[in-house]
Every structure is written in structure tokens, then in C-alpha cells.
Structure 1
Amino acid sequence: MRVELDEPKCVASGQCVIAAPDVFDQRDDDGVAIVLEERPGDELLDEVREAVAICPAAAIRLVDQ
């Protein structure tokens, strides 16, 4: 599984960081999310799915590869 972030859609709410702090962080200057772990291990997938579900801008996708 691979994490994709559509940065222009991100509204910098930080919900992804709260849900999956090992996978997401936020830029200091504008708060836009960044992906720390593009291919998270199986142990992190539930957290990533939660981040996808609660992202208010629907800017995160989990792609099966």
C-alpha cells in the first residue's frame, strides 16, 4: 500500500498527524501535511485508513500496489 497526498487540497487541519503520527507531519511554515512514510508497514495501515477517513479535505488516498 502506498500513501498519496494531494497537497493543493490540504487544509492544514492536522487530523492526519493526530491519527498517524508515524506516517504524517506538517510543514512548519504553512501547516500543510507531508508524508513521512510513503509505504507504511502493515502495523500502521489502520492508522493511515483512519487518517484517510477523517481528512476534512479528502486530500489523502491509500493506493493498493
Structure 2
Amino acid sequence: MGFADLSIAELAEDYQLNRESVLLLCEHLGIPHQDAHSLLSLEDAKRIILASKPPTTSQSAD
């Protein structure tokens, strides 16, 4: 598994997320970390980004 060379703190800043909420997401998703300076794998960074986005609603045309 490759690393994104992106820490939890950097991901939070880049995506305008609260650092504490990203740490809580890591706990919830089972992503191993020590602190906000822990580097994330590419897959874990993607999981956090997707989990932090509000769900999209699709509207079908009738």
C-alpha cells in the first residue's frame, strides 16, 4: 500500500476540515494513526475524503 505523503493535519487543512473531526473519522473507520502528524496511505486518505463529504442526492428526470 502506497503512502499519500500527506498527514492527517495536512489533509484537514487542504479540505477545510476540523482536525479533530478527521481524527475521529480515523477512529471510526479503523485507520491506524498516532497523532495528527501521522502519514496516511493513499487508500485511507481517499476513505477520509469520501467520508467527510455530504451525501449527494440524485434526481431523476421523469
TM-score, normalised with respect to structure 1:
0.37
- Rg comparison, structure with higher value: 2
TM-score, normalised with respect to structure 2:
0.38
Bigger proportion of residues as strand: 1
Bigger proportion of residues as helix: 2
